[in-house]
Structure 1
Amino acid sequence: MKRALISIVLLSSLAACVSAPTGPTIAIMPREGKPFEVFQQEDQVCREFAANAIKDSSNTALKEGITSAALGAALGAAAGAVIGGGSHTGVGTGAGVGLLGGSALGAMNSSGKQSQSQTQYNIAYQQCMYSKGNQVPSFPR
């Protein structure tokens, strides 16, 4: 029971580390002469557009993190059973070590996916704001 509670806490903390982008990480400026109220409305529309563009990829990051943790726990339990000669102690220890390792691997994988989601969000947001005539940062040539 105690181990199950610890496992649930670890999985929950892993899930809490993964989140969808909450906004752009780039600065967009209104074109000269555009009223600020219009710019704010366009900003809201483009944030919604960008969030919809990455909806599937942010869910993938969360699923990948949880799957890695669960798979690590299962493999750790199996290894603990084999090493411990089938004793309950070996299974529990192996599951705990596997969960910890799987959680760490899942966190690294989901972090990469989350970074990728932020980049995709920024691109979609830039495209939307550019199409509305706003000034977007450009890459140096």
Structure 2
Amino acid sequence: MKGSDKVIEHLNARLAEELTAINQYMVHAEMCENWGYDRLYKAIEGRSMVEMKHAEKLIARILFLDGRPIVSNLNKMNIGAEVELMLRNDHAYELEAIHGYNDSIRVAVEEKDNGTRDLLQSILDNEEEHIDWIEAQLDQIQQMGLQQYLAEQTA
């Protein structure tokens, strides 16, 4: 089915964000594992895997719309040198993704592509869950202090 060029362009922009997120989160997860923060490692690695599923769904939709998935574009990654900065960088990236998904949903509606709108909405719901989790981690750091927070991540 031939899809709107505008929708395909937006899908490729979201794909670049997802591919970037996969890489950023994978590095952050591995850093946490290296430092012995097993709970944080598992959570961030899991988020990376969810982003991988998002990328897979976007690629499938682009192909369905007779578009060409552009998998060679990555956005700038912001790797944190310590846990709190990792979380802040991931928060900023999720916030950017949420804005992008909202914009792409608007375009899909304008182009009368409800299938794409539904896909983008389901991914947006996941991104909002991600940012909620990250905000909870940052709140915990603020409330209990970084050292106590990190101690709890080793269990």
Using structure 2 for the length normalisation, give the TM-score: 0.35
Which protein is richer in helix relative to its size? 2
- Point out which structure has higher relative CO (alpha carbons under 8 A, 6+ apart): 1
Using structure 1 for the length normalisation, give the TM-score: 0.37
